[in-house]
Amino acid sequence: MPPRTVVIGVDSSTQSTKAALVDAGTGRLLAVGRAPHVVTGEAGARESDPEVWWQALCDAVAAGLKESGVAASAVTGIAVAGQQHGLVVLDRTGRPLRPAMLWNDTRSAPQAAALTAALGGAEAWTARTGSVPVASLTATKWRWLRENEPENAAAAAALRLPHDFLTERLAGSAVTDPGDASGTGWYSTATGAYDPELLELLGLDVALLPEVAETGATRIGSLTAEAAGALGLPAGIAVAAGTGDNMSAAVGLGLGRAGLLDHPVLSLGTSGTVFAASRTRPASTALSGFAAADGTYLPLACTLNCTLAVDKVAALLGLERDDAAPGGEAVLLPYLDGERTPDLPAASGLLTGLRHDTTPQQLLGAAYEGAVFTVLRALDELLRACGLDPADPEVAARPLRLIGGGAQGRTWVETVRRLSGRPVIVPGSGELVALGAAALAAAAATGEDPVTVATGWNMGEDTQLPAIQRDSETWERVGSTLERAAGPLLGRA
């Protein structure tokens, strides 16, 4: 019997790093090492020190090796999936010039609007990049940096996305992948390359950017001796190009082999995202038309406020996460960090409909309802943009795949079921981003297709929950509140 080989998939998210050690032959999850991150900022700012990400990666790998009991010599490959859109600015030694601006940093909203106008409007951006600039996109953060910190912009020797920064530390090679690159605002999904006209508009020298690999599974180098020493792994193992977190989750789910929108996915984490696989390039101003990690496409819509926002409401009320009840007449839009979908970067939370008999549990339930309504509304926009009618009974009957931390929460799952009226599937594995990255690592080590690798792995039994009657009354109440409030009450003239 050949010796067991192990691959490591890294999920470097907003709040923490997870390193999944996976049996490359069976997909069995052997261990998950974890290490926290630190996010700072107020008044729209959200930043992290990239060096903390690197230390967290080292700590998470060490914890995973210890927990699994796997010999380091069994590891044959590693790949990083990271939070999208963040701007990492490096000096000539490869060290950060300043903290990274994260995807949920909303300070660049004015720059997003200016860039949209400068190219001729939303349709012009969608035709090139697949996405309209919002404060989340990396291009808007670069424009903000040039306008507000010109000394740091002038001193920049390299710009990286979060996963690029970590991959470069692993392999010593400055390489990204089409999936994560498609969320920058300077990569064209129409041409599969950086867009020279957009780079000129942004005042950005292409020499500052990493090369773009063919896919996230492309082997872009080997683990350097320095990185191997820091991680306790063998030098020379395969390093994949890696990708963004949503693209990696899609690999873990095997979505590259699914038909268009047959398996819409809701990811409930710090942000709420909805996405599905497509073999044709989407181009709609209503969504982000990202590339996928395997050469297909990943139409996606993202909300800023999801599990963290609801956890904040629970903390304010002194309640546990699942100590919630349906909101009744209360409506709580938990837009604590502004909002991306709908595009309300200056938004704040809004509570209305209070009565004498409103309970704390109902207020927490209303926060869940507000967050779930927002992400399901984004799903409806995605379906329409792809030519499907959300009200069509056949479309409405398609099950939702629920992933992310929220998928493990009883109240999250039940609120999604109640407001969607759809069947819900919770995949057997709760670490799909890390497992997708592990599949990319295995593919880089062997040359196989990463989605084929992932679909061949046994990741556990899915939980399938039948549809229940949709709570149309709550849906209409939250929707009408949002429509009334989308102007001055949420900071938008």
One-letter identity of residue 386: C
CB proximity list for 235: less than 8 A, separation 6 or greater = 222, 223, 224, 225, 227, 228
Do the Cβ atoms of 265 and 250 come closer than 8 Å?
yes
Structure tokens at 208: 């500052």
One of 245, 380, 449, 471 is an active-site residue; which one? 245
Structure tokens at 300: 């996606």
DSSP string covering 88-153 = EEE-TTS-BSSPEEPTT--TTHHHHHHHHHHTTSHHHHHHHHSS---TTSHHHHHHHHHHH-HHHH
Q: Residue 338: which region, alpha, beta or left (left: phi > 0; alpha: psi -120 to 50)? A: left
Do the Cβ atoms of 266 and 400 come closer than 8 Å?
yes
State the pairing for strand pair 424-426/400-403.
parallel
Indicate the length of the chain as a whole number: 493
Q: Rounded to whole angstroms, how far apart are CA atoms 427 and 430?
A: 7
Structure tokens at 376: 């399901």
* Cis peptide bond upstream of 342, omega within 30: yes
Instruction: Name which of 93, 94, 79 is nearest 213 in CA terms.
Output: 79
Sign of the alpha-carbon torsion through 331, 299, 397, 263: negative
Residue 380 annotated among the catalytic residues of the structure: no
Q: Rounded to whole angstroms, how far apart are CA atoms 272 and 266?
A: 7
Structure tokens at 402: 């629920």
State the pairing for strand pair 211-212/272-275.
unpaired
Residues labelled catalytic: 245
